[in-house]
Amino acid sequence: MSVFNANTEAVRNYPVQPYHGRIALFRSLHDLVQKLEDPTFGWGQYTPTPIEIYDLPGDHFSIIREPNVNVLAEKLRVCLEHAQKNVTHP
């Protein structure tokens, strides 16, 4: 219970600041109602930059199980490759 209380306190006291980097949002196709209300699931309020949205087959839990996890892995691979290409090396 002490860990739960500490996490709750941390969330309550964290000073939220805008994030200006690239954000990729992986969503399940199952939850259509929430997508209609806010396609960014609330993340849009934390960034002035457009969020890249990737819709995945399944629900919140089955997107990380076969066969849906294969789609997630491929989309994540593409995002990571894109990020690697845009990293400035000293």
Q: Is residue 90 part of a domain?
A: no
Compute the distance between CA of residue 55 and CA of residue 51 in angstroms, rounded to an integer: 13
67: in domain:
yes
| pLDDT per residue as tens, the chain (90 positions) | 999 999 999 999 999 899 999 899 999 888 766 667 888 988 999 999 999 999 999 998 999 999 999 999 999 999 999 988 887 555
What are residue 89's phi and psi, to 5 degrees?
A: -95, 140
Decide if 15 is inside a domain. Answer: yes
- Provide the residue range defining the domain that includes 15: 2-85
Domain for residue 34, yes or no? Answer: yes
